[in-house]
Structure 1
Amino acid sequence: MGEPAVDALPNSYEVALAELEALIRQMEGGSLNLEASITAYRRGVSLVTYCRQQLEKVEQQVRVLDGEMLKPLETNHLSSGA
């Protein structure tokens, strides 16, 4: 009853990522029975898909804002303290 439905979408990327991390800890801990493990795995797949979609949306927004040209970050001037 306290478990979210496999199909329910999280409110944000951060919420999805936190839930995914919690699921991973539970599954790695070995405390889940087979049925709960399968449910957790299905939920994890759903969360990963959601996170990827959110990242793709943000990447598209950055492309639009940056005139369709993503530029590599120049790390030389950042690491020199300038």
Structure 2
Amino acid sequence: MSKKSIAENAAAPESFEQAMAELAELVTQMEGGALPLEASVAAYARGSELVKYCAAQLEKVESQVKVLEGDMLKPFAADAAGEGIQ
């Protein structure tokens, strides 16, 4: 992804999944080391925006789940996950 295409993607993501896919692409390109310095900085800035967006979406969904569960969320117990499933 060139600096220009990173700037083109600067719009807000349409969904959490789209943001995660773009973030994964940015990470792959940055880890590859093929981006010039300016493009790396732009990719890092875009990645930071995407992380903030994803975190906000997760918080929003978590609060919706709390409402649906009547604020009675319980920690997930790995050993209880298989109970009742045969």
Q: 1:78 to 1:5 in 2, by over 3 A?
A: closer
1:61 aligns with 2:64: yes
Q: Percent identity?
A: 52
Cα deviations by residue, 1:16-65 (Å, 9 ceiling, x for unpaired): 00000000000000010000000000000000000000000000000000
Aligned to 1:32: 35
- TM-score for both structures, normalised by structure 1: 0.86
Aligned length: 81
Q: Compute the displacement of 1:78 (Å).
A: 3.7
Q: Which runs of 5+ in 2 are unaligned?
A: none
Runs of 4+ with >2 A deviation: 1-6, 72-82
In structure 1, which of residues 13, 26, 51 is the aligned counterpart of residue 54 of structure 2?
51
Aligned pair 1:21/2:24, yes or no? Answer: yes
Q: CA RMSD in A?
A: 1.7
One-letter identity of the residue aligned with 2:37: L
